Amino acid sequence: MRNSYGSIIIFMDTLTSKKCVPCEGGETPLKRSEFEVYLPQVKYWSVIKGDKYIERDFKFKNFKDALGFVNQVGKLAELEGHHPDIYLHNWRKVRLTLSTHAIKGLSQNDFIMAAKIDKFSETRKI
């Protein structure tokens, strides 16, 4: 579709409106040129380890808040069927790492989870 100036209009759903889909392997991981479109929606996440993972660090007021956050992430992961690696350390810090293990790299599911985690983390006092 083009606007009145002839420019192509791209409609992109927000990642938070999408649902993770099961991945059993057999597909290839996203290349940077394919996932760059998602990066503005997960601006606090870093792409690491040769474009195979995204990661974000969180810091909380205390251990109880950090653990509560981890539990919320766990509930979301169960709902979405896509699970991050979770590292609770230094009594109040949490590092989340996302990658689609079945394809040994990034899929749209990783960015969907990151965006949904960001959405509920905005309402917490981090």
Question: Helices (DSSP H) in 59-107: which residue ranges?
Answer: 63-80
Using DSSP's 3-state secondary structure scheme, residue 122 falls into coil
Ordered domains of the chain (ranges, CATH): 42-121 (3.30.1360.20)
Per residue in 29-87, pLDDT tens?
A: 999 999 999 999 999 999 999 999 999 999 999 999 999 999 999 999 999 999 999 99
Calpha distance 49→74 (Å, rounded):
24
Tokens describing residue 98: 């996302």
Residue 2, pLDDT above cutoff 90? no
Q: E strands, the chain, where?
A: 46-48, 53-59, 85-89, 93-98
What is the reported pLDDT for 23? 86
The pLDDT of residue 1 is 38
- Note the pTM of the prediction, 2 decimals: 0.86
Evaluate if residue 10 carries a pLDDT over 60: no
Cβ pair 106, 115 in contact under 8 A: no
